[in-house]
Amino acid sequence: MKVIALYVLRLPEDKETKDDSKVEILCEADDADNEVGYIKRSAFRDFMKFSTRTIALRTDEGGMQMVEDAGYKMHVLRPVDGKRIVGAAVTDPEYPDRVAQGLLSKLTKDFLEEVPEENFGNRAKITFPAIHSMLRKYQDPKEADPIMKVQKDLDETKIILHKTIESVLDRGEKLDNLVDRSNALSSQTKMFYKTAKKQNSCCVVM
Amino acid sequence: MPVQDRTVEFKACVDSIRNRSPAPSRLQAEAKQRLLQNGEREVRKSDFSRMAGAIGRDISSTTIKLGKLAQLAKRKTLFDDRPVEISELSSIIKQDIAKINHQIAALKAHLGGAQQQSKGTSAEKQINEHNNNVLMLLQTKLADTSVGFKDVLELRTQNLKESKERTDQFISSTAAAVRQTPQNSLLFGGQGKRDPMGDGSARDVKGKGRALPDNDMLALDLDAAEGGFGGQSQQMQLVEQQDTYIQSRATAIESIESTIAELGQIFSQLATMVAEQRETVQRIDADTIDIAENVSGAQRELLKYYASISSNRWLMLKVFGVLIVFFLVFILVS
């Protein structure tokens, strides 16, 4: 389960265009080096960029879309009031959709907060190193997404509690054992005491 | 039950039979002339009656389809809805109504042309009046069909709204409010449009042409209603996308909630088991105290006994002396 790439795209001014080369990539981070071999790398990058741009062109404001194709899932989110900014992520098919959408909304929100709008036209001025750290962090969705983290902690706690209950049952068994034994010992010592007492009081010599 | 309008065909038959009956011989020339004129007019009339008959047949078939659509739209089941059939059928009916509209317009134009050629004799005036009456009859029939179609569409949207509300009850979602406003704006706004098709020819005939612009307006209203419906389903799709995300979050959070509830249950079970074991521990405690007491008591007795034995030495010496005497006696004897 991993995230292959993250992109921040900017849609062109012309709303009706279907030409995806007009969509600018403002910021990108990808893990394609670990995903495909050296020869396929550039073609793979082109594939990812093309598909995310195409989907972004057809996304309305406030819309989120997911397309599964060629063994990868492309998630696209266009925030409301986003100034034509679109966040896109390429993941493998097992990655949970909800976490991907959460990642994209966080990405777009941080990007809009950190990078001022006038830099949008100038790619060189945009510095957003957080995109790389986000890509790394979200490789394991169970750690990054708070809901999944809580769920994981709860599951661990449940396992621990099951073990506790088992040990409590064992303790009960041992306690039962102890009760029986102490009962027996108690009766034995009572006999001992009676015998010792009888020694003293009865026939003087024998 | 659709009523088949065959009066025009009947009239055509009656006219043709009358013209076939023999005329008196002295008026044969006049009759021939009249026949010729009748023939011409018959040609026109049979044209007219043919077209009118075709229109009447179309209207009847459209009414049958409308009945089927009404049947389908009345179904209020939540799951067995057949939207594809319903939309297909409604589009077919709309096309039919438009076609009939065109046919009636063509017939009217044809009739208008024929009337201009008429000479103004009383017989022809009657014929013209009859033709206009037939035309108006066809138009009213078409208007009735269109009204019925509109009612069926309204019923269908009503049922759709109800079924959506019912699904919302099962999958309660905050986007329900957003979904309902498009319905209000597009569907009901469409009914407010009154834009006649720019039908200038309708105003010629003195008041008998009123039916035609009504038909056009009704057809346009249906178009607006259908278009509004399509746009509304588009908006619902967008809202449903966000719905999916929100729903998945909601299910994840619900599973967390159930896990926490389970944990709570496990904790209380644990507490119960430990409380049960407390009693056992108390029994063990009591038993251990008894044991300690018994053992210490027994030790006391033994000490007393030991003390008594060691203090009773004289008695013991005496006892032992007697024993030794007996022993010696036995040895001396043997």
Taking the CA of residue A36 and the nearest CA in chain B, the distance in Å comes to 30
Nearest Cβ partner for B280 among A150, A164, A176: A176
Does A187 touch chain B if contact means CB atoms closer than 8 Å? Answer: no
Q: Is residue B110 part of a domain?
A: yes
Percent pLDDT > 90 in chain A is 22
Quote the domain boundaries for residue B154: 46-177+240-278
CB B258 within 8 A of CB B182: no
Q: Is residue B256 part of a domain?
A: yes
Tokens of A142: 């169970």
CB within 8 Å: A98 and B238 = no
pLDDT at residue B64 above 70? yes
CB B132 within 8 A of CB B104: no
Taking the CA of residue B284 and the nearest CA in chain A, the distance in Å comes to 5
Instruction: Report d(CA A148, CA A145) in Å as an integer.
Output: 5
The answer to whether residues B257 and B133 belong to one domain is yes
State pLDDT tens for residues B207-257: 444 444 444 555 444 544 454 455 556 566 666 666 788 888 899 999 999
The answer to whether residues B66 and B118 belong to one domain is yes
State pLDDT tens for residues B73-85: 777 665 666 777 8
What is the chain B residue with the closest CA to A79?
B242
Q: Is residue B224 part of a domain?
A: no
Strands A85-91 and A24-30: unpaired
Taking the CA of residue B273 and the nearest CA in chain A, the distance in Å comes to 7
The answer to whether residues B304 and B272 belong to one domain is no
Q: Is residue B22 part of a domain?
A: no
Angle between helices B211-311 and A97-114 (to 10 degrees): 100
What is the chain A residue with the closest CA to B283?
A179
- Which segment, A38-42, B162-166, B320-324, is predicted with the most confidence on average? B320-324
Tokens of B192: 């407010």
CATH topology of domain A3-204: Beta-Lactamase (3.30.450)
What's the pTM?
0.47
Q: Which of B145, B308, B79, B211 is nearest to A203 (CA)?
A: B308
CB within 8 Å: B249 and A98 = yes
* Beta-bridge partner residues of A75: A66, A89
Does A159 touch chain B if contact means CB atoms closer than 8 Å? Answer: no
What is the chain B residue with the closest CA to A148?
B252
- Chain B residues within 8 A of A154 when measuring between CB atoms: 256, 259-260, 263
CB count within 10 Å of CB A94 equals 9
Domain count, chain B: 2
Q: Is residue B314 part of a domain?
A: yes
Q: Which of A89, A116, A86 is nearest to A101 (CA)?
A: A89
Nearest Cβ partner for B277 among A157, A171, A195: A171
The answer to whether residues B297 and B268 belong to one domain is no
Mean pLDDT, chain A, integer: 86
Tokens of B241: 């996308």
Q: Is residue B272 part of a domain?
A: yes
Q: Is the ipTM of this complex over 0.90?
A: no
CB B63 within 8 A of CB B96: no
CB within 8 Å: A199 and B301 = yes
Length of chain B: 334
Domain ranges of chain A: 3-204
